[in-house]
Amino acid sequence: MKVFWTDTAVQHLSAIYTYIAQNSPGYAQRLIDRLTKRSEQIAKFPLSARTVPEFETKQIREVIEGSYRIIYAH
């Protein structure tokens, strides 16, 4: 499975980085790296994540990284 980040998702990543980098650019980069690395897990194992509770479909799933949710459709 290929993973495509929406423009909105990329904007969110940028905003997360900008906010955290004000105090710790190194930590901000490590967090963004961890978040984007999760797309490798999604690509290899798209059904391994849990379904999103607020949606009633098995096609919408999420992985959690720290206090962030990465929601995707497969």
pLDDT 10s digits, 32-69? 999 999 999 999 999 999 999 999 899 999 999 999 99
Question: Measured between alpha carbons, how far is 47 from 41 in angstroms, rounded to an integer?
Answer: 10
- Please give the average per-residue pLDDT across 23-36, as a whole number: 97
Quote the strand ranges of 1-74, DSSP E. 50-51, 60-65, 68-73
For residue 71, is it left (φ>0), alpha (ψ between -120 and 50) or beta?
beta
Architecture of the structural domain at 7-73: 2-Layer Sandwich (3.30)
As beta bridge partners, residue 62 has 50, 71
Can you give the pLDDT at residue 39?
Answer: 92
Residue 4 — very low, low, confident or very high, per pLDDT cuts 50/70/90?
very high
Question: Measured between alpha carbons, how far is 61 from 3 in angstroms, rounded to an integer?
Answer: 13
Can you give the pLDDT at residue 65?
Answer: 94
- Any idea where the domains of the chain sit in the sequence? 7-73
Can you give the pLDDT at residue 51?
Answer: 95
Contact 26, 38 (CB under 8 A): no
